Amino acid sequence: MVAEIGFGSLFVSLIVSIYGVIAALYGTSNHQKKWILSAQQAMRLVFPLLTITVGSLIYLLINNNFEVVYVSKVSSLSMPLYLKITALWGGQSGSLLFWSWLLAGFTSAVTIKKWDRDQDLLPWVIVVGLGTLTFFLVLNTFFENPFVRYWQVNQDIVQSFSQPAGGFIIGPRNGSGLNPLLRHPGMVIHPPMQYLGFVAFIVPYAYAMASLIIGRSDDRWIQLSRRWTLWAWLFLSLGLILGARWAYDVLGWGGYWGWDPVEISALMPWLSGTAFLHAVLIQEKRGMFKQWPIVLIILTYNLVIFGTFLTRSGLLSSVHSFARSTIGPIFLVFIALTFIASFWLLSSRWDKFKSRQELTSFFSKEALILISIVLLMGMLATTFWGVIFPNISELITGAKVTVGPPFYERVAAPILGGILTIMVICPLAIWSYVSFKHLGKLLWKPFIVSLLGIVLPILGGLTKVPAVIAFWLVAFVLAVNGFEFVRRTRLRRKTESESFLEAVFRVFQRNKRSYAAMIIHVGIVFMALGIIGIEFFQTETQGTLAEGQELQLASYTMEYEELQIFDTPDARNVARAVVLVKKDGEVLDEIYPRRDFYYDSNQPVTIPGVRSTLVDDFYVILVDWKAVTSEGATFKVYHNPLVKWLWIGAWVIIFGVVVATWPEKKSSMAVSKNARPK
Amino acid sequence: MVEDDLQPIEAEPRKGNSLKFVIGGIVIIAAIIYLMVSSLQANVQYFLTVDEVLEKQNSGELTGRNIRLSGAVLGESIQYDMDTLELRFTIVHVPADIKLVEDEGGLAAALHNAVMDPTRSQLEVVYYGAKPDLLQNEAQAILTGELIANGVFEADELLLKCPTKYEGSVPDQIES
């Protein structure tokens, strides 16, 4: 019954979605407002409809309805409640449904705003939003239906949604359960964030397309979608960072970042999305390069769909990919259609979006931002090429080849260096024109401070040149931002008689967006610090220890105390080592590297014990142990300097985006200022 | 002076000035392309099956090259030395062609057939490090490393997939 409700609601939402597209098209071509309003209602309706569908699937998962094929494959009796719910996105068809549901959420939310001034955009936003949703609902309804059940027909077991002739429902007594690697708190938050980030980019894309179609070349679409874009970017960033954190916390995903093709397919829209955010800034401040944001948002949207395709077509060998599926070709057709249509539209409106302004100085803010966009796009081209090169090469030469992490690392390191360099200059540069002399005046003090970033590591015994350069750049960016902040506050205090704190607050308030950008960039630099730490300075050792024996790495000593082996209520067998972390003979901490063996799927999962500080992480993996006597156990130990800054950077970025999107107090004033005619 | 709220002075478009920016842009793009191409040449790996490795190993074209290799894990061959962290196992040839795999009834069936078939070619693998959780009979192993002199493959990276543990093959739910 519940499965029927779920599927019924899914089917109805598909119909409503198709209706919305047609009504919007009809309404706009015949100038009949009631059809457009009707389409708007349709767009509002899909979210509640799909909520019923998602609710039904969650109900089936929670109640162990294993006659539903999807439930039997991703859930089992012994799984805790929260994991049963997360199993909604633990497999192909369920995660596609989850995706459609989030997409419907965003499209519905867009309809809520008042459209008075933007009536002309509305029908096309509906067409793009519901058009995309229709595609995913078609996949869910006809190809990846999560409500398919097992039926017994004579002696055969048949998988079908509707009842075959003479068939009756049967189901296994227990499901095979979620893949143990997915049974982790990370499962609760990483996939939803990643998906939110992906689907939220539909909003700016829809606005951009609507603007293109009606030929409106002002900044309106950018103003309307600015907050959406920032949140989309934040969610996507968090999805990536949480994925990295999960991979760091559980062995088996291959370290914090492995240049796995699926990781890359999530990174690609992030790169183009980041470039988009910056291109938007140039258009808003200078009215220049108006085609760039449109190109970049088209790329981002298509890369999101392309990433979904890569993950779901079974094209890749990756820890993330789903089983091989038939939906690959349909995806390719959809990507090709939207890509060609978007760029055809853009080319037909190209002249309308031309701007009169030209670049005047290499050190103007717009030029620097432009360079960083080019660098981001270079990184994007590299990652894209790395993912598709094996397929192209196989087509042409017949030889199967792959490119591994060294390829990406070699290209990424100099590009990251270039971006950091721009981050040094950019806060000091001004729009339109700036001379090198002017920059030099502002740069010399932070430069001297940044030399600490060279001297201190070298005094500390550091000899690797790239690492020294990296530390120096990090110190330089931080110094520039610090000096700039103090300088602006002082300027303010010269003219207003305020206390220092008050001045800080006022300056902040007056220039909220620029300070938010500063905060986000400092977050990025913190993350770079973490990456530098683990990439350049990771050391490792290993050893088999009897109880009470010790092993040394870096300045730490670990002592193996004992091994505890026990069963848990959720059908795991846990082998847990108790390890003391010591420094200079003093016990700092007790950590518990362990291995969980899942009975229902017959598979172990290794979880390291970590002692984490701002300076370094001491990371211990329980590799193996002597089962009978439990006398000796083998450990692999890593020393990961500075890696905690990777996660701290993420928090800083969240804070920055919250500041940037915080509603304006004097919003009416801001709007009237921005809406001035160009 | 560096207030972002300041409205930019509408600069007169200066003619002939854009050339230096075009050149600057080209230099940056050329640098990135050079970086890409040179890194690609240095880091391309062959992706081979066990048959192909055995076929090519005598010609010497694989020596010293970083290769990627896939095959089915033979469960009974897995040996692990806890003291040295030396892991040894044998992988069995599985065809790389997706069509052949589909003909056998999907990846899980192809891996099963490979392990049960004593006539298939085999290759010994050695790896130093933690024993991966998914290393078990009939798992698909994707290995990165080098062929060392005596016909043994030394892997420095192991990627394992157990098709049965992941979501199974997509059901043919659209029955006609």
Model pLDDT, residue A496: 72
Model pLDDT, residue A630: 55
Report pLDDT digits (tens) over B2-23: 444 444 444 444 444 677 778 8
Chain B residues with CB inside 8 Å of A357's CB?
10-11, 13
Where does the pLDDT of residue A471 fall: very low under 50, low under 70, confident under 90, or very high at 90 and above?
confident
The answer to whether the CB atoms of A159 and B159 lie below 8 A apart is: no
Stretch A318-324: mean pLDDT: 51
pLDDT above 60 for A476: yes
Residue A142 is given by DSSP the state: I
Higher pLDDT residue, A503 or A370? A370
Task: Determine which of A68, A281, A324 to mutate to test the interface with B (most B C-beta atoms within 10 Å).
Answer: A324
List the 434-453 stretch of A: residues with Cβ below 8 A of B.
442
Q: What is the pTM of this model?
A: 0.86
Give me B166's structure tokens: 């992941």
Calculate the alpha carbon distances from A177 to A9, A238, A246, B127 in Å. 26, 27, 20, 30
Model pLDDT, residue A128: 95
Q: What is the residue-averaged pLDDT of chain A? A: 85
Where does the pLDDT of residue A324 fall: very low under 50, low under 70, confident under 90, or very high at 90 and above?
low
Report pLDDT digits (tens) over A387-429: 888 778 777 877 777 787 888 988 888 998 899 888 888 877 7
Q: How far apart are CA A523 and CA A652, in angstroms?
A: 5
Nearest CA to B44 out of A379, A407, A318, A412 is that of A407
Q: Is residue A79 packed enough to be buried (19+ CB in 10 Å), middle (13-18) or exposed (0-12)?
A: buried
List the 613-632 stretch of A: residues with Cβ below 8 A of B.
621, 623-626, 632
List the 81-110 stretch of B: residues with Cβ below 8 A of A.
82-83, 85, 96, 98, 106-107
Query: Nearest CB to B28: which of A251, A374, A625?
Result: A374
CB–CB of A72/A7 below 8 Å?
no
Question: Backbone dihedral region of A582: left (phi > 0), alpha (psi from -120 to 50 degrees) or beta?
Answer: beta
Chain A residues with CB inside 8 Å of B136's CB?
603
* Residues ≥6 apart with Cβ < 8 Å to B64: B146
Query: Lowest-confidence range among A33-37, A363-367, A547-551, B90-94?
Result: A363-367
Q: How far apart are CA B143 and CA B136, in angstroms?
A: 15
Report pLDDT digits (tens) over B27-62: 888 988 888 888 887 777 777 888 888 888 777 777
Q: How far apart are CA A639 and CA A588, in angstroms?
A: 15
Nearest CA to A334 out of A133, A124, A89 is that of A133
* Residues ≥6 apart with Cβ < 8 Å to A175: A64, A66, A71, A72, A73, A74, A75, A76, A77
Q: How far apart are CA A179 and CA A598, in angstroms?
A: 9
The answer to whether the CB atoms of B13 and A385 lie below 8 A apart is: no
pLDDT above 90 for A461: no
Query: Nearest CB to B167: which of A91, A285, A604?
Result: A91
Closest approach of B43 to chain A, Cα-based (Å): 6
Model pLDDT, residue A157: 83
Give me A103's structure tokens: 């997409």
Dihedral angle of Cα A131, A133, A139, A144, to the nearest 10 degrees: -170
List the 6-45 stretch of B: residues with Cβ below 8 A of A.
6, 8-11, 13-14, 17-18, 20-21, 24-25, 28-29, 32, 35-36, 39-40, 42-45
The answer to whether the CB atoms of A511 and B68 lie below 8 A apart is: no
pLDDT above 80 for A79: yes
List the 114-143 stretch of A: residues with Cβ below 8 A of B.
142-143
Q: Specify the residue for token string 């991703």.
A: A74
Residue A116 is given by DSSP the state: G
CB–CB of A600/A78 below 8 Å?
yes
Model pLDDT, residue A153: 87
List the 369-388 stretch of A: residues with Cβ below 8 A of B.
371, 374-375, 378, 381-382, 385-386
Nearest CA in chain A to B142: A317
Task: Determine which of A634, A664, A678 to mutate to test the interface with B (most B C-beta atoms within 10 Å).
Answer: A634
Query: Percent of chain A, pLDDT > 70?
Result: 94
Nearest CA to A55 out of A6, A123, A115 is that of A6
Say how many CA atoms lie within 13 Å of A387 toward its Cβ. 24
Three-class SS state of B5: coil
Query: Lowest-confidence range among A105-119, A341-355, A555-569, A619-633?
Result: A619-633
Model pLDDT, residue B130: 77
Model pLDDT, residue A145: 93
The answer to whether the CB atoms of A514 and B4 lie below 8 A apart is: yes
CB–CB of A161/A7 below 8 Å?
yes
Three-state secondary structure of A399-424: CCEEECHHHHHHHHHHHHHHHHHHHH
Closest approach of B117 to chain A, Cα-based (Å): 24
Model pLDDT, residue A453: 80
The 10 Å Cβ neighbour count of residue B129 is 17
Closest approach of B116 to chain A, Cα-based (Å): 21
pLDDT above 60 for A321: no
Calculate the alpha carbon distances from A487 to A427, A445, A525, B3, B70 in Å. 12, 12, 21, 11, 59
Give me B137's structure tokens: 């009979």
pLDDT above 60 for A111: yes
Sign of CA dihedral A321, A327, A333, A334: negative
Report pLDDT digits (tens) over A44-75: 999 999 999 999 999 999 999 999 999 998 88
Helix (H) / strand (E) containing A634: strand A632-641
Give me A54's structure tokens: 């998602």
Give me A327's structure tokens: 């939906």
Q: What is the ipTM of this complex?
A: 0.71
The answer to whether the CB atoms of A385 and B36 lie below 8 A apart is: yes
Report pLDDT digits (tens) over B54-81: 888 777 777 777 888 888 899 889 998 8
The answer to whether the CB atoms of A430 and B5 lie below 8 A apart is: no
Stretch B134-161: mean pLDDT: 83
Model pLDDT, residue A325: 62
The answer to whether the CB atoms of A164 and B166 lie below 8 A apart is: no
Model pLDDT, residue A205: 95
